[in-house]
Amino acid sequence: MTTARFPDGFLWGGATAANQIEGAYDEGGKGLSIQDVTPRGIMYDRVAGPTADNLKLEGIDFYHRYAEDIALFAEMGFTVFRFSIAWSRIFPNGDEDTPNEEGLAFYDRVLDELEKHGIEPLITLSHYETPLHLAERYDGWVNRDLIGFYERYARTCFERYGDRVKYWLTFNEINSVLHIPFGSGGINTPREELSRKDLYQAIHHELVASARVTRVAHEINPDLKVGCMVISMPIYPLTPDPDDVIAVMNADHANLMFSDVHTRGYYPGYAQRFFRENGIVLDITDQDREDLAHTVDFVSFSYYMSICESGDPQVKADGAGNIMGGVPNPTLAASEWGWQIDPKGLRIVLNQFWDRWQKPLFIVENGLGAKDQLVEVDGEMTVEDDYRIAYLNDHLVQVAEAIEDGVELWGYTTWGPIDLVSASTAQLSKRYGFIYVDRNDDGTGSLTRYKKRSFDWYAEVIRTNGASLEAREVLKV
Ligand code: BG6
């Protein structure tokens, strides 16, 4: 047991994305999204159209099984559930004038179910699932027209659900556009053909769109809370050499610029210097500047790992990671997919973000992707996932430390509370859940749900508001 104290009303739950769970890719009037043509995952090239090997087309069939799944979340005591709306369910092509009623009605039903169980929804408007038509016809976010299409979509969602959904996120991991332009920004032009100017112009359009819909949300209902969402990754200097520390500073700037703009309402000096020195002249209108001034209510982020940086060009930055990699840390162990495990990094990042922005924070993704073995125990099928329990326990202990440090944190949602299709590799065998889903990488399986050992563990953490967590020495390499 720890002396961990999470504030009263702290929100506990899990997080998902439409394209990784819903399936039913062509049902209910849904249009194609960029995920329907990336069978190998968002890090890889697209293919011409939907193919049978794309696990996301069926996902875990949440579209038809949402009631059963939400009931299991409720059994664990969730007080919040983060999910995304598939943009292409609401506007199948993205550029229509009127929304698809069948798509809107689906999320009404999901919200009814959450309400029945007293679970607060937290909705991501855009989670790597730009309508494919917007990628093909407009080249995604490189095109300024996307701002208007996104605003229409967001307004539709706020007007429809704004009286029952308080918490909203504009773009999932917005800082990933730099690394996966198609997956994150719906940019159809191959990466190698994109100039830096193209990329930063696309980013600018997303930042403007995010700020503009934050204003729209507040106009529709001043009680709505709109947050940004970024990949957090503490970056450590490989050595005490000041050149390594400067390398860290530069890498931090590249990554934190997004939330700096979201929270301050303008581009910081270091970004302006970067644009100047790299000949990047962005098209920024007066209206854009006015829009950007509508800052977010809170900052949310994913946290899986940390990384190192070095000022020495000889040092290889070949460490795997959540979309971004870097120089591997010689002191840390890694997951089966090479992501280095660093619970203390979460405390560091919570403090860094709080100190930097003084905005309430929300951890909306954290978890361990691992290969699970379904076994029979006392006549029940389960997974003895002590490794997952250890990972989550150790991270949550550090969250408690950060709260003790004075960080204002609204809640914590683990990534993939139920097994889902991986974003980077499109595998189902990279499992994060408390609930096992019987589906395999070759698409076989009954889709039956089974509770893993971590299911009861997380239920107890929530029931005791964190008091059941165990402070213990964290294993390194
Ligand atoms: C984040 C994404 O990058 O990490 C999720 O927001 C993703 O969509 C999660 O699933 C875990 O990554 P992966 O590649 O293991 O699915």
- Indicate if the pLDDT at residue 203 is higher than 70: yes
Give the model's pLDDT for residue 323. Answer: 85
Nearest CA to ligand 1 atom 2: 423
- Indicate if the pLDDT at residue 1 is higher than 60: no
Class of domain 11-463: alpha beta
**Cβ–ligand 1 contact at 310 (below 6 Å):** no
Give the model's pLDDT for residue 472. Answer: 85
Give the model's pLDDT for residue 319. Answer: 86
Q: How far is the CA of 415 from the centre of ligand 1 (A)?
A: 8
Q: How far is the CA of 220 from the centre of ligand 1 (A)?
A: 31
Place of tokens 């107890």: 460
Q: How far is the CA of 378 from the centre of ligand 1 (A)?
A: 33
Bridge partners for 298 per DSSP = 227
**Cβ–ligand 1 contact at 424 (below 6 Å):** yes
Q: Give the confidence band of 3 by pLDDT, cuts at 50, 70, 90.
A: low
Q: Give the confidence band of 52 by pLDDT, cuts at 50, 70, 90.
A: very high
Q: Give the confidence band of 473 by pLDDT, cuts at 50, 70, 90.
A: confident
Give the model's pLDDT for residue 4. Answer: 65
Can you list the positions of beta strands (E) in 297-391?
298-303, 307-309, 361-365, 375-377, 380-382
Mean pLDDT of all residues in 186-201: 96
**Cβ–ligand 1 contact at 419 (below 6 Å):** no
Q: Which two structure tokens, joined as six digits, stand for 33? A: 């999204």
How far is 373 from 246, CA to CA, in rounded Å? 44
The helix/strand/coil state of 102 is helix
At residue 57, what are phi and psi to the nearest 5 degrees? -60, -30
Nearest CA to ligand 1 atom 16: 422
- Indicate if the pLDDT at residue 46 is higher than 70: yes
How far is 120 from 242, CA to CA, in rounded Å? 46
Give the model's pLDDT for residue 475. Answer: 65
If we measure between CA atoms, which residue out of 165, 72, 164, 93 comes closest to residue 125?
165
Q: Give the confidence band of 2 by pLDDT, cuts at 50, 70, 90.
A: low
Place of tokens 């969730």: 78
Q: How far is the CA of 285 from the centre of ligand 1 (A)?
A: 34
**Cβ–ligand 1 contact at 415 (below 6 Å):** yes
- Indicate if the pLDDT at residue 451 is higher than 60: yes
Mean pLDDT of all residues in 244-248: 98
How far is 477 from 468, CA to CA, in rounded Å? 26
How far is 328 from 315, CA to CA, in rounded Å? 10
As a whole number, the mean pLDDT across the chain is 96
Torsion of CA 138, 206, 281, 133, to 10 degrees: -10
Residue 98: which residues within 8 A CB-CB, separation 6 or more?
none
Q: Ligand 1 pocket check: which of 231, 422, 425, 441 to mutate, most ligand atoms within 8 Å of Cβ? A: 422
Residue 335: which residues within 8 A CB-CB, separation 6 or more?
341, 368, 369, 370
Please answer whether residues 228 and 299 qualify as being in contact, where contact means their C-beta atoms are separated by less than 8 angstroms.
yes
**Cβ–ligand 1 contact at 369 (below 6 Å):** yes
Which are the catalytic amino acids? Answer: 173, 365
Per-residue pLDDT tens for 307-322?
Answer: 999 999 999 988 888 8
**pLDDT > 90 in the chain, percent:** 95
Give the model's pLDDT for residue 477. Answer: 64
Residue 192: which residues within 8 A CB-CB, separation 6 or more?
none
Nearest CA to ligand 1 atom 8: 423
- Indicate if the pLDDT at residue 344 is higher than 80: yes
The helix/strand/coil state of 199 is helix
Please answer whether residues 342 and 410 qualify as being in contact, where contact means their C-beta atoms are separated by less than 8 angstroms.
no
Q: How far is the CA of 16 from the centre of ligand 1 (A)?
A: 9
- Indicate if the pLDDT at residue 14 is higher than 80: yes
How far is 94 from 125, CA to CA, in rounded Å? 13
Per-residue pLDDT tens for 417-447?
Answer: 999 999 999 999 999 999 999 999 999 999 9
The helix/strand/coil state of 449 is strand
- Indicate if the pLDDT at residue 331 is higher than 90: yes
Residue 126: which residues within 8 A CB-CB, separation 6 or more?
84, 87, 150, 170, 171, 172
Q: Which two structure tokens, joined as six digits, stand for 249? A: 């500073």
Give the model's pLDDT for residue 59. Answer: 98
Domain-wise residue ranges, the chain: 11-463
Give the model's pLDDT for residue 403. Answer: 97
If we measure between CA atoms, which residue out of 383, 384, 395, 388 comes closest to residue 368?
388
Kindly report which listed range (99-108, 124-133, 324-333) carries the lowest average pLDDT score: 324-333
